[in-house]
């Protein structure tokens, strides 16, 4: 309990001392460390911090239970890394960045500890508004920041409606004393899906990530969208005996939108050339997979014989959330380090980061990219293996429609995983391992940035290799075992009785041993033979290289009707551009609303005093009639 109190107090002092950058960021990192301990304690020993009564039956309360403790633990690790990174990185921005960063952490902390709807919305708004102001720290980001705020307030309005329905049914906003309604489930799910960037509400992610400072991009992509995931867990917990009230439709919709979001995000990550846009689309993909896993869990909970399958899909969502939070924090922080050092935005322009900027940021890009490519035994591999195992078991559903939905959704998810690997090979291959372009990185304070990146890289490895111990820590020891010479609990199983198995720990051991042979061969050879990229049989001229554009151009052409590709030509080059069709829809919607607004303003607010007097008189008559 005292750890949570201390974290909240430290964030408050981080706001107060924002005039001194290093003090503000240091307080934020220490506060995150206390939040981490508070989350770990709350996972095993739930606690409350008391209630504050505002009106009869209306109060605000804080506390931590098993579920919120798990999510606080995950989020706090990302907060620690972002805060430490910002001590160096924040020097490139104004002093008030520390203020808004601490406030954003404070808002998320309140969300995770909220025991009622009022407290939850308070934290939600603190997080949203402070994140909006953080995006504005980048010059020229007003449009993107406003789009983020618009979607953020849309989610807030939806939450207000959801909690109002909770109050109308139960007479209070408590999460523990109430049972939710259908309206509550629909509106809260919509609000959290918007915050997670689920298709087709994902467009705010693209612009915000591209324009925001890199530590803010890590915040938006990892812990902020994690609040949406936690919100869905919270909303479902308020729906008692969900399986008894025929809410299978919710699970089917979650699977459909989750799979579509995963596919859409991965498909556009393949084609993008912008350094920070690619990880943004990756966020859409990963959050889609998380939503699909939750949907499978809800569907399986309707059948008492599939209780084990439901639990496995639920822990799959948590493991995917861990993988995404750690790996995406690492990716954005490492990319931001390289981007700041070389002052470039395109993937092609950041070639050779390993030699030009440093091994640690390049290693961060490589490890996070491999994790999102489901490379064993990293955390991303474990989460995505579990998701595919969940889909493989969909044949157990008794309903033919559910089986068909899960089967086709599984196909889209599998395609998304493959395309994600394709896009991450492009990102890591060109930035971290590409040929050095000869540019010199500018000198900048980066020691703590490297510490943060190394910290996350170790966790991405550790949570993958020791995944079975993570399952046991969360209380899911039934999915760990021993078999085929693998001692317990180093084997992960996907069902009881056993359906599928994997052992990340033993995979790491075997891979490490086998790696010694090529390493020994490499160390004994003094010469390294290099070959040029294949260029269709044509010789590569001096200064030519295989670009990221060329890497994905074939896929862009094949899916040109989805991408809406256009060839752009200039005097000395030609390239392909694509647009997200959903953003085209929102642009058209915005244009239509502006036209309607213009007509109404010219008609109703036309500056004519006689019209205003008529409005006032009409309102008075209407009030008199209604009374």
Residue 144 has pLDDT above 60, yes or no: yes
Average pLDDT of the residues in 495-499 = 84
Q: What local confidence, expressed as pLDDT, does residue 272 receive?
A: 86
Cα gap 256→295, rounded to integer Å: 9
Residue 530 and residue 545 in contact, taking contact as beta carbons nearer than 8 Å: no
Average pLDDT, the chain: 86
Provide the whole-model pTM: 0.91
Of 130-134, 498-502, 596-600, highest mean pLDDT: 130-134
500, exposed or middle or buried, with CB in 10 Å at 0-12, 13-18, 19+?
middle
Residue-wise DSSP of 501-562: EE-HHHHHHHHHHHHHHHHHHHHH-------PPP-TTPPPPTT----HHHHHHHHHHHTHHH
Q: Is the dihedral of CA 396, 398, 402, 405 positive or negative?
A: positive
The more confidently predicted of residues 533 and 9 is 9
Calpha distance 532→540 (Å, rounded): 8
| pLDDT score, position 3 | 83
pLDDT, one tens digit per residue, over 315-354 is: 999 999 999 999 999 999 999 888 888 887 788 777 778 8
Collapsed DSSP state (helix, strand, coil) of residue 175: coil
Contact yes or no for 248/302 (Cβ under 8 A)? yes
Return the axis-axis angle of helices 359-372 and 400-431, rounded to nearest 10°. 160
Ordered by start, the domain boundaries in the chain are: 1-237, 581-626
3-state helix/strand/coil string of 343-375: CCCECHHHCCHHHHCCHHHHHHHHHHHHHHCCC
**Selection from 312, 165, 306 nearest residue 239 by Cα:** 165
Encode pLDDT of 227-258 as tens digits: 999 999 999 988 876 655 567 889 999 999 99
Across the range 454-481, mean pLDDT stands at 91
Q: Residue 627's pLDDT is what?
A: 58
Joined tokens for residue 306: 């599939």
Mean pLDDT, residues 532-547 taken together: 70
* Residue 421, pLDDT above cutoff 60: yes
DSSP string, 366-400: HHHHHHHTT-TTSHHHHHHHHHHHHHHGGGG-S-H
Q: How confident is the model at residue 525 (pLDDT cuts 50, 70, 90)?
A: low
| CA separation, residue 158 to residues 163, 201, 240 (Å) | 9, 14, 21
SS3 assignment, position 607: coil
pLDDT tens string 393-411: 988 888 888 899 999 999 9
pLDDT of residue 527: 65
The two tokens of residue 145 are 């920041």
Which of the four pLDDT bands, split at 50, 70 and 90, describes residue 517? confident
Could you tell me which residue, 108 or 475, shows the higher pLDDT?
Answer: 108
Given a cut of 70, whether residue 76 has pLDDT beyond it is yes
Is the pLDDT at 503 greater than 80? The verdict is yes
pLDDT tens profile 291-318: 999 999 999 988 888 889 999 999 999 9
The two tokens of residue 354 are 């390993």
């Amino acid at each position: 309990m005292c750890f949570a109190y201390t974290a909240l107090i430290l964030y408050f002092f981080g706001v107060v001392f924002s005039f001194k950058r290093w003090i503000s960021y240091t307080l934020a990192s220490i506060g995150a460390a206390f939040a981490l301990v508070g989350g770990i304690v709350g996972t095993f020993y739930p606690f409350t911090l008391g209630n504050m009564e505002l009106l009869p039956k209306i109060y605000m309360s804080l506390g931590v239970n098993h579920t919120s403790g798990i999510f606080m633990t995950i989020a706090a690790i990302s907060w620690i890394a972002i805060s430490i990174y910002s001590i160096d990185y924040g020097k490139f921005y104004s002093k008030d960045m520390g203020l808004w960063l601490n406030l954003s952490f404070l808002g998320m902390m309140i969300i995770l500890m909220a025991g009622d709807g009022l407290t939850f919305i308070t934290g939600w708004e603190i997080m949203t508004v402070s994140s909006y102001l953080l995006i504005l720290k980048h010059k020229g980001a007003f449009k993107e920041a406003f789009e983020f705020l618009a979607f953020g307030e849309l989610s807030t309005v939806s939450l207000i409606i959801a909690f109002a329905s909770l109050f109308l049914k139960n007479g209070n906003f408590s999460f523990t004393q109430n049972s939710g309604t259908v309206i509550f489930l629909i509106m809260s799910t919509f609000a959290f899906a918007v915050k997670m960037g689920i298709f087709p509400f994902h467009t705010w992610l693209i612009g915000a990530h591209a324009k925001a400072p890199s530590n803010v991009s890590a915040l938006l992509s990892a812990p902020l969208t994690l609040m949406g995931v936690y919100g869905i867990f919270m909303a479902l917990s308020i729906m008692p005996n969900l399986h008894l009230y025929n809410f299978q439709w919710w699970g089917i919709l979650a699977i459909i939108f989750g799979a579509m979001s995963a596919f859409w995000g991965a498909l556009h990550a393949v084609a993008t050339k912008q350094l920070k846009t690619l990880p943004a689309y990756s966020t859409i993909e990963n959050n889609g997979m998380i939503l699909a896993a939750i949907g499978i869990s809800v569907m399986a909970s309707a059948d008492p014989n599939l209780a084990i399958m439901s639990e496995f899909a639920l822990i799959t969502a948590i493991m995917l959330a861990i993988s995404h939070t750690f790996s995406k924090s690492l990716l954005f922080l490492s990319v931001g380090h390289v981007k700041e050092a070389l002052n470039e935005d395109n993937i092609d322009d950041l070639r050779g980061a390993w030699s030009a900027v440093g091994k640690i940021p390049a290693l961060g890009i490589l490890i996070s990219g491999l994790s999102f490519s489901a490379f064993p035994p990293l955390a991303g591999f474990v989460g995505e293996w579990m998701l595919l195992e969940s889909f493989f078991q969909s044949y157990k559903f008794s309903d033919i429609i559910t089986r068909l939905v899960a089967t086709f959704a599984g196909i889209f998810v599998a395609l998304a995983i493959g395309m994600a690997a394709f896009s991450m090979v492009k990102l890591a291959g060109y930035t971290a391992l590409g040929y050095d372009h000869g540019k010199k990185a500018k000198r900048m304070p980066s020691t703590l940035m490297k510490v943060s990146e190394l910290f996350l890289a170790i966790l991405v490895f550790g949570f993958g290799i020791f995944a079975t111990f993570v399952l046991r820590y969360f209380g899911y020891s039934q999915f760990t075992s021993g078999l085929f010479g693998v001692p317990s609990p180093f084997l992960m199983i996907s069902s009881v009785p056993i359906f599928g198995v994997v052992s990340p720990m033993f995979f790491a051991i075997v891979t490490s041993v086998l790696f010694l042979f090529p390493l020994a061969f490499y160390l004994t050879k003094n010469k390294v033979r290099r070959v040029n990229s294949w260029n269709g049989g044509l010789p590569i001229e001096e200064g030519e290289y295989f670009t990221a554009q060329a890497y994905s151009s074939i896929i862009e052409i094949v899916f040109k009707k989805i991408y809406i590709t256009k060839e752009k030509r200039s005097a000395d080059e030609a390239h392909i551009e694509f647009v997200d069709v959903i953003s085209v829809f929102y642009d058209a919607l915005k244009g239509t609303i502006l036209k309607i607004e213009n007509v109404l303003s010219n008609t109703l607010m036309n500056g004519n005093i006689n019209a205003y007097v008529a409005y006032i008189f009409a309102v008075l008559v209407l009030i008199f009639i209604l009374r």
